[in-house]
Each structure stands twice: as structure tokens, then as C-alpha cells.
């Protein structure tokens, strides 16, 4: 099971992660991304983390 974390002090709320994988990421009313599930059957979450422009996502 993946341990996915978002650094809220770094996330800009750009929405890229949520656009790439809405099963796992959601941009909340607070304008920050949140993890809503720790797994996705169709995405490589590490790849999505690598695409975050400010490297706010860590996957362990
Ligand atoms: S891609 Fe990164 S900066 Fe953009 S909403 Fe997701 S965690 Fe935040």
C-alpha cells in the first residue's frame, strides 16, 4: 500500500495531480491538493508525483 503525502506548505493547488489521477488526488476548497485514496488501478502514482511542478508529492 502506497503512502502518499502532499506537502501543504509547498503545493500551489495547480490541479495537475488531480487532473492526472482524480481517483487519488483532489484539490479542496482550501486550494490545496489532498489524497483521497492510496491506490489507483490505472495510474503510476510515482510518475504523477514526479510531474508535480513543485515536488510537493512524496510516495513511499
Ligand atoms: S501537482 Fe503538486 S502543486 Fe499541483 S495541486 Fe498537485 S500537489 Fe499541488
The reported pLDDT for the residue numbered 11 is 98
Q: What is the 3-state secondary structure (H, E, C) of the chain?
A: CCCEEECCCCCCCCCHHHHHCCCCEEECCCCCEEECCCCCCCCCHHHHHHHCCCCCEEEC
pTM for the model stands at 0.94
Architecture per CATH, 4-59 = 2-Layer Sandwich (3.30)
Listed by start position, the domains of the chain span 4-59
Q: How far is the CA of 39 from the centre of ligand 1 (A)?
A: 17
Name the closest-CA residue to atom 6, ligand 1.
17
Q: How far is the CA of 40 from the centre of ligand 1 (A)?
A: 17
The reported pLDDT for the residue numbered 1 is 62
Note down pLDDT in tens along the chain; length 60 residues. Answer: 689 999 999 999 999 999 999 999 999 999 999 999 998 999 999 999 999 999 999 999
Amino acid at each position: 500500500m502506497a503512502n502518499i503525502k502532499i506537502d501543504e506548505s509547498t503545493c500551489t493547488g495547480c490541479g495537475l495531480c488531480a487532473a492526472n489521477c482524480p481517483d487519488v488526488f483532489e484539490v479542496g476548497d482550501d486550494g490545496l491538493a489532498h489524497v483521497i485514496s492510496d491506490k489507483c488501478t490505472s495510474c503510476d502514482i510515482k510518475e504523477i508525483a514526479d510531474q508535480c511542478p513543485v515536488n510537493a508529492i512524496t510516495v513511499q
